């Protein structure tokens, strides 16, 4: 890497691929029925973004969380964030993979910042208000909730990349000669 410099043309393929992974992580987080939250001790209570279930073995009593305004807001924020992320992915494929359109990159970066804001709000509201609703025992957050944070973190990184890439137009197009960081004497 030091000898060859940074290969900017690879960003044309890697950044949309990272957005695809963020979409997959978001879908996993939203669609997970095994729960975002589980009780720590007895494994008798778990809750996803959509419902909470109490019981043991095969005898589970599930209630929807969609009767609570905060749960509806969390679902809406996550789904709106996912839809904006899908649109940003499609635009990034057009801007980077088909033809190089540098003017679209800050727009995509702005869309990703909006996705990050929406999802951070949802991922903070859920545990705060879920913990207020439940008073018994200790709970921990599962892998499905972690996938929501994973998608958000990927969006933060991609937003930074999309906002910085317009400065390196010549490097992206391959018109600029590679500067070597190390040369042999």
pLDDT in tens, the chain (185 residues): 344 455 666 667 888 899 999 999 999 999 987 778 887 765 777 888 888 888 877 788 888 888 889 989 999 999 999 999 999 999 998 888 777 777 888 899 999 999 999 999 999 998 888 777 775 667 788 888 899 999 999 999 999 888 877 776 666 666 666 666 666 66
The tally of domains found in the chain comes to: 1
- Angle between the N-to-C axes of helices 69-92 and 11-31, in degrees from 0 to 180, rounded to the nearest 10: 160
Assess if residue 42 is contained within a domain. yes
96: domain CATH number? Answer: 1.20.140.150
Check residue 4 and give its pLDDT. 46
Q: How many residues does the chain have?
A: 185
The answer to whether the CB of 88 falls within 8 A of the CB of 115 is yes
Q: Which domain, by its residues, includes 68?
A: 8-173
Q: Is residue 178 part of a domain?
A: no
Enumerate residues 6+ apart whose C-beta is below 8 A from 78: 26, 29, 30, 49, 118, 119, 122, 148
Cα–Cα distance measured from residue 23 to residue 16, given in angstroms and rounded to the nearest whole number: 11
Cβ–Cβ < 8 Å for 8, 172: yes
Asked if residue 182 belongs to a domain, the reply is: no
Alpha-carbon gap, residue 70 to 139, rounded angstroms: 19
Structural domain includes residue 2: no
Q: Specify if 180 maps to a domain.
A: no
SS3 content of the chain, % helix, strand, coil (to 5): 65, 10, 25
Task: Please check whether residue 131 lies inside any domain of the structure.
Answer: yes
| CA distance linking residue 62 with residue 81, whole number of Å | 27
CA atoms of 67 and 49, how far apart (whole Å):
12
Q: Are 46 and 37 within 8 A, CB to CB?
A: yes
Q: Identify the H or E element spanning 95.
A: none
Supply 101's token pair.
């359109």
Tell whether 23 is covered by a domain.
Answer: yes
Assess if residue 1 is contained within a domain. no
- pTM, rounded to two decimals: 0.82
Nearest to 50 by CA among 67, 28, 25: 67
Residue given tokens 């000669």 in the structure block: 177
């Amino acid at each position: 890497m030091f000898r060859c410099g940074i290969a900017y043309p690879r960003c044309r393929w890697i950044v949309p691929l990272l957005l695809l992974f963020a979409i997959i992580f978001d879908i996993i987080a939203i669609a997970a029925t095994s729960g975002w939250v589980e009780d720590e001790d007895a494994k008798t209570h778990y809750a996803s973004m959509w419902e909470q279930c109490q019981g043991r073995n095969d005898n589970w009593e599930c209630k929807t969380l969609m009767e609570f305004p905060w749960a509806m807001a969390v679902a809406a924020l996550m789904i709106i964030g996912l839809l904006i992320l899908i649109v940003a992915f499609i635009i990034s494929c057009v801007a980077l993979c088909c033809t190089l359109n540098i003017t679209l990159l800050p727009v995509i970066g702005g869309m990703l910042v909006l996705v990050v804001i929406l999802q951070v709000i949802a991922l903070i509201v859920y545990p705060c208000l879920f913990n207020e609703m439940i008073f018994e025992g200790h709970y921990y957050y599962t892998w499905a909730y972690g996938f929501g944070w994973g998608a958000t973190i990927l969006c933060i990184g991609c937003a930074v990349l999309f906002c910085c890439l317009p400065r390196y137009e010549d490097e992206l197009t391959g018109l600029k000669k590679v500067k070597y960081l190390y040369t042999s004497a």
